[in-house]
Structures are given as structure tokens and as C-alpha cells.
Amino acid sequence: MQPLRGVTVVSLEQAIAAPYASRHLADLGARVIKVERPGTGDFARAYDSRVHGLSSHFVWVNRNKESLTLDIKDPRGRAVLRQLIDGADVFIQNLAPGAAARAGLGAEALRENDPRLIVCDISGYGSPGPYETRKAYDLMVQSEAGLLSVTGTPADVAKVGISVSDIAAGMYAYSCILAALLERGRTGTGTHIDVSMLEATVEWMGFPMYYAYDGGQPPPRAGAAHATIYPYGPFTAGDGKVVMMAIQNEREWRLFCERFLGRPEVADHPDYATNSDRNAHREALGSIIARRLAELTSSEALDLLTAVPVANARVNSVGEVWDHPQLAARGRWHQVDTPAGPVRSPALPGLSPGDARMDAVPGVGQHTRAILAGLGMSDAEIDALVAEGVA
């Protein structure tokens, strides 16, 4: 299933948010032309060298794309980019605030030239506003959005272990672009999409924000445990390994007491009768659960919890996820070519394995000559641009 075949996306992108959005469009069949700096390319290429010498971040968000290098500070580079945009359906950019407009690539100017064009700007804080010119790396936005205040232990805040604000912004850009393509199919007109990392992250903060609505106390930081539902989180088995478990309703709680604890009377104890009661007395209840778990290995505990049934999970390392039996059984791993050779990559969630587009991660400027030739440039013209560092 590649419903975006025939859709051309030009993305003046760097780091994670915009590349993540455009990769999802490419996964659905769109032609994505990634515009990078001549020589060095997207700076995310140099974040690390963990994937056969390539950046883990870059490999993750840049499959299925063509790489074009252009110096858009040079008038000739800007002219080439404008020519590409003139033939595109979607233009995405996540440059520093105001940089696209200064280069003549603002949404108003582009859409005045082509009303069918969909323009998507991705930034840290959006414009206008007092924060519009601030640098907005993922950690900064997690902080501003209140995410750090509810993440970590009672003693210490902690950032989420992935670039969740970048990912949130990329996913809203992706979904809004899909919606805009549908709308254009009905009206014939494109639109301007303006996504900020702050607003995307605040949307995901809905539960703790409403929990603290109108001056209420926010949910406490609870490490790997749930802040307001109990029992829900990590528990240590008799072999010293951590077991994750979660009880979400009273039916599960009663079955847990009967079939796992072997103490049905606990279910009706006034200190534990409702989730609010259990949350208020989690230390005492935790001692009861700990005594039972001390009698079991982690494997025995997981099997018994599954039989109850109560939701449970192993605490996998990142390395163990590569060999997760469920992902293997569903055929989710595919090979993707890179400049350093093939690597494994998970297919886009929701698509069956046979529908997954898994084309290569491009090298810097790998498609520059082919793209410029497609615009009608001669070999001599292309040679001149490359020699002068414009392409």
C-alpha cells in the first residue's frame, strides 16, 4: 500500500522532526527530495557513528529519500530549489525561525505562486510569540512543556530517553500533511501547516495537565511506576529480576488477589478497595505484593500473571528488542541499504510486510546530478554548480 505514489515532497530539513515527518510520507510512496548542505549534508549525519560508521539518528529517519545538495545562500542554489518546489506537492522546512522567509521560501510567497502547494513549517516554539527565536532542542522543549516535571523519581527529574518532542512534532506534521492532501483533493487548494515542538508536546501532556487543572496538585514523579494507578509498574521477583505489571480495573484487581496473591480477602480490604485507596496505601500494599513475588522467579511470575490474566512485561534492553519474538513472528524486520551496507529496519507500523517500502538511506548528495538533470540542466551546468560548491 503506497497511496502517496505520484506525490512529490521537497524537504529542506535537518535533525529529527522534519526528516521524521518526510520519512513517513516516503514510506507511503511519496517521492521525497531531501535538500542538504553541500559537502557535510544534514548535521544529524555526524551525531554518532554507531551503524557501520553512520549516524544512528540519520539511518532511522532518512530511508526512502533522494539526497540533493544545494547552497541556498547562493542565488543559483535558491533558484534551483524554487524550481523544484514549483513542481512539488509539499514543501517542508525546519530551518531556524525566519530563515526560510528570508530566503524567499516563506509560506505566503510560495503559495501565492502556487495555491495548490502544501507548505509545512516545523519549529521549536512557533511564530509569533516571545519564544519564536529561541533555540529549541528536544530537551529544552521537554522542559518547557512540563514533561520533565512529571518524569523521573521523587528526587530527580529525567528526560524521556528518546527525542519525544521531535517525534511528536514530526508525527503531527505528517498527519496534517496527509489531511491537507485529502482537503486539496476536494478543493484543489493547498494550505500552510505550522507545527511547533512545544505545542505537539503539550498535546501529549493532556493527562497530567488536566490532573492538575485549576491549581490542583500535579501527579508525582514515580520513576517507572504509574503516578496515580496502583499496582502499576516495576516489582522485583525472587531471582532479582524486575517484572512489570499493571492492574487497570476492579475486575483485574479481584482476580489478581485470588489467583496471584492467593489472598482473595485483600481485594475487599478497605485500604485497597478502590484504585484511589490502593494508590494512597501503596507502600503497605507493595509489601504484600513483594512477599509473594519473593517466592517466584521472574519467569514464574510472568507466567502466573499472564494466566490470571494481568498485564505484564519483561524489562528488555534495547539490544533484546532486535530479537523480540513478537516482532519476528510478524515479519516486521526488513533490510535497508545504506552507504555502509544493508541494515535491519522495522517496517512502518500498520502496513503489512509486503506493502512496506524499504528503499535506501542516501549518501550526501547521492542524487544531486540526477535531480538537476531532471530539471533540464546540462552536464556542463551541473559540473559548474558542483565545482563552485553550489550543489
Is 14 in contact with 94 (CB distance < 8 Å)?
yes
Neighbours of 97 (CB within 10 A): 20
User: Can 42 be counted among the known catalytic residues?
Assistant: no
Q: Which residues contact 169 (CB under 8 A, 6 or more apart)?
A: 17, 21, 122, 195, 196, 197, 200, 201
Grid coordinates representing 48? Answer: 554518532
At residue 355, the 3 state secondary structure works out as: helix
At what angle are helices 17-27 and 164-187 packed, to 10 degrees? 50
Of the residues 48, 71, 166, 359, which is catalytic? Answer: 166
Helix, strand, or coil (residue 171)? helix
Task: Measure CA 338 to chain center.
Answer: 21
Q: Counting beta carbons within 10 angstroms of the beta carbon of residue 138, is it exposed (0 to 12), middle (13 to 18) or buried (19 or more)?
A: buried
Cα(first)–Cα(last) distance of the chain, in Å?
Answer: 34
Question: CA–CA separation, 45 vs 185, rounded Å?
Answer: 36
CA–chain centroid gap for 366, Å, is 26
Closest CA to 242 of 302, 187, 199: 302
- Region label for 341, one of left (φ > 0), alpha (ψ between -120 and 50) or beta (otherwise): left
**Packed helices 197-204 and 164-187: angle between N→C axes, nearest 10 degrees:** 100
What does R_g of the chain's alpha carbons equal in angstroms?
25
Strand runs labelled E in 216-295:
232-236, 242-246
In angstroms, the CA 257 to CA 250 distance is 11
Reduce the DSSP state of residue 90 to 3 states and report it: strand
What are the catalytic residues? Answer: 166
